[in-house]
Chain A
């Protein structure tokens, strides 16, 4: 049983406070959705939890099973069982995906397995063309292919908690279904805990959330079951204050 606990988290970029006290707990097997208008701080939340350089923590804490994540390097957070599927995966010329996954697995003492075989099996499961496995990481992949690539990495690395940052953007409806089902299967078979950050409801049609959090101006302003997402679909975010701009 894993537990990601975010308490009173305040963070910013370049002296500007974006997260103004976020509280959120994700446990194994649960799916949490964080929804909110542009500029509400959704992406900042992902980056701060994972430790992206350039973000400043101003207060609060993030722990995974009691371990203070904010004091760890990004790779150590990953080694602790955290994975973040990025909204805009970075192109890394000349670097093969298999080498990256092997290094990551070796770092946590899970090296030596048939990484390539697992990559191929996962690729087939989410309709990711095998040809892409030998391409340099994310180079010349379309937006949707990059998202599938993130999902494949999640499945091979087998984290305990995964943050999906707008994993739905760029995916057509069929790909969205495959990706969402793949993540859902992880929650059922391996008890993966998921924090899915999304602007739109469509991901949540496939990946059923247990809890929906609405983020606005850096705070969780509403919390509810899946029906909250349906309600947002109908009313939009008009009822929630728009923020004054967000980085990234």
Chain B
């Protein structure tokens, strides 16, 4: 049997994970965190990991796909650029100024000879998909920012999938050293292929570091994503994650942020918008382990056509976590009768010295807002398009990579335009 390449420690890690995987059942919707998911539809036999040399297309060097080049153009200056194709690193560029400052970006197997970074934030795989990921992650990427360094421009990691029937397992580790500062832009795209992507992202914000991360998910309409993003925020550090999920057939992301150090703070933002029969599935955890920590979550979603979305979120306040502020807001706009959105916020509080709030809503476009625009002479479909774009703007305007925003906004507008073509439903 062909094997993935890599140093001996990585081979051993994969083998151990695979062994555990063979005896671990797949999750079922009976488990709360998989409730409402489309996991019963998944047949892993439809996909195969790319282990043969050359099967992933990454061994043939060459320019990245044209749309990635356009994306790079829009992003503007980047301190580093990594292109990952079908789970393997195709190319790495670090601008000289950033390299001089000590920014390290590249294959984890090269930059981290003992592999201590892998799993340093995410820990042990939590379920069969996590084990599968660990067994087949071909080429993890590491971004390491030394203590005290401010990386001048974003680090862009661009993932692309183009092999039909493939299962790929991208892995990204970001380590922001003490008092450092970095913005990471992580893009997931694909051709129009049937594929399964199981990405894992580990984000570590060292003491007093400022780490901001953006995940733009623009996968093709037949791709399944089962993803996990874990962050650990140390003392006085500031962490922010922003997710824009527009693609995929079923795209799930578990987002966990651990506020581990006193005075640390975490912001979690998301925009998701489904059309046709797409489903976006977010599970969030704001885990406050230390005193005087702050977390603020704002997830905004919309569903049109027959699409579905799930948001379930938990705020956990540990016993030691006194003086905590934790907020969680999830708002959803339901744009058609056939669409469906679920929103389930939860609190688990072990320390009473906290300020906590959660709010969730699912509903149609606000009637007063629509009437106001219509009374100016804006036709209903245009009014709804403006209102939905405005609804998402609150998140989009806060992305730390402004160069990426117009294209994301354009993608949202294109979805709304397709809705107008399909014919918006009559008003209630």
Contact = CB atoms under 8 A, between A and B. Distances in A.
A52 B371 contact: yes
Contacts, number: 87
Contact of A89 (B372, B377, B386): B372
B176 to A, nearest CB: 31
Nearest to A101: B376
Contacts of A25: none
Interface in B352-411: 367-369, 371-380, 382-383, 386-387, 389-394
Contacts of B389: 94-95
B369 A90 contact: yes
Interface stretch (A70-78, A201-209, A238-246): A70-78
A84 to B, nearest CB: 6
A235 to B, nearest CB: 35
Contacts of B387: 92, 95
Contacts of B379: 75, 103, 107
Interface residues of B, number: 24
Nearest to B388: A94
B369 A104 contact: no
A44 interface: no
Contact of B373 (A51, A93, A100, A136): A100
Contacts of A137: 372
Contact of B377 (A91, A93, A107): A107
A53 B383 CA distance: 15
A50 interface: yes
A94 B391 contact: yes
Contacts of B394: 93-94
Contacts of A83: 376
A91 B391 CA distance: 12
Contact of B393 (A77, A86, A93): A93
A157 interface: yes
A73 B377 CA distance: 10
A108 interface: yes
A74 B369 CA distance: 13
A79 B380 CA distance: 13
Pick the most buried of B367, B368, B376, B394: most chain A CB atoms within 10 A of its CB.
B376
B385 to A, nearest CB: 9
Interface in B411-427: 427
A53 B370 CA distance: 10
A124 interface: no
Nearest to B382: A103
B376 A104 contact: yes
Contacts of A90: 368-369, 371-372
A68 interface: no
Contacts of A91: 369
B380 to A, nearest CB: 7
A75 B297 CA distance: 36
Contact of B369 (A92, A107, A108): A92
A153 interface: yes
A99 interface: yes
Contacts of A136: 390, 393
Contacts of A73: 374, 380
A100 B382 CA distance: 9
A50 B386 contact: no
A103 B371 contact: no
Contacts of B393: 93-95, 136
Most B CB atoms within 10 A — which of A78, A84, A91, A95? A95
Given A92-B387, A94-B391, A94-B394, A78 B371 contact: no
B391 A93 contact: yes
B386 A53 contact: no
Contacts of B386: 92, 95, 99-100, 103
B383 A75 contact: yes
Nearest to B367: A53
Interface in B195-220: none
A77 B393 CA distance: 29
B164 to A, nearest CB: 38
B390 A75 contact: no
Given A92-B390, A107-B382, A86 B367 contact: no
A75 B377 contact: yes
Contact of B375 (A84, A93, A103): A84
Given A92-B390, A93-B391, A95-B387, A86 B378 contact: no
A157 B376 CA distance: 8
Most A CB contacts (10 A, CB to CB) among B380, B382, B394 go to B382
B371 A53 contact: yes
A86 B375 contact: yes
A100 B378 CA distance: 7
A137 B377 CA distance: 15
Interface string A98-142: 011101110110000000000000000000000000001100000
Interface of B: 367-369, 371-380, 382-383, 386-387, 389-394, 427
Given A52-B375, A53-B427, A74-B374, 10 more contacts: A74-B375, A83-B376, A90-B369, A92-B369, A92-B390, A94-B392, A95-B373, A100-B376, A100-B378, A103-B383
19 contacts: A50-B375, A53-B371, A74-B374, A75-B375, A77-B375, A78-B376, A86-B375, A89-B372, A92-B369, A92-B372, A95-B369, A95-B373, A95-B386, A99-B386, A100-B373, A103-B377, A104-B377, A107-B377, A108-B377
A-B pairs, 5 with minimum CB distance = A94-B390, A94-B393, A78-B377, A104-B377, A95-B390
